[in-house]
Structure 1
Amino acid sequence: MQIKLYELRKKAGLTQAQMAKKLDISENSYRMKELGRTDFKSTEMFIIADVLKHDINEIFLPKKTTKRLLSGQPS
């Protein structure tokens, strides 16, 4: 799951449906991406960073890093 993205989206008061609309994708597609089941396209990442007014690197961590942080175990 994209924890940081989830937190920033909630803090901004945006729903998954609103984010999906900004990316011109379905709400289900956005949900699957936020859950980490599918990857965001690089263009989508830049749009999200712009919408949330944060640096792209603050929002999206490499998958390997994300897994390690979530599990607490080095990979």
Structure 2
Amino acid sequence: MTETVSQTKLASLRRYHNFTQKQMSEFINVDLRTYINKENGTSQFKLNEMFAISQKFDKSIDDIFLPPDFM
């Protein structure tokens, strides 16, 4: 069973750059509810979505999407 992780780093980055969840959902071309579920950890981001988001914020995928205690 895979564990989903709330994307607190992503949410913080999004707020820091003054992007709404709606804007992010449009950026990765998903429904707003789908984006909210992904950011909250209810469902997972696809690799292409993670790649696009990491480029948007000029961060590595690891920096945004791995949990802080990942070893």
TM, length-normalised to structure 1:
0.80
Percent identity between matched residues is 36
Question: Which blocks of at least 5 consecutive residues in structure 2 are unaligned?
Answer: 1-5
Q: Give the 5 Å matches for 1:1-75.
A: 1-61=6-66, 66=67, 69=69
> What RMSD over aligned residues (CA atoms) do the two structures have, in Å?
1.3
Partner SS for 1:40 = coil
TM-score, length-scaled by structure 2: 0.84
In structure 1, distance between residues paired with 2:63 and 2:43: 19
Q: Distance in 1 between matches of 2:56 and 2:45?
A: 15
Q: Number of matched residues?
A: 64
Gap regions ≥5 residues in structure 1: 70-75
Q: What code does the residue aligned with 1:39 have?
A: Q
User: CA deviation digits over 1:20-56, x for unaligned, max 9?
Assistant: 0010101100000000000000000001101111111
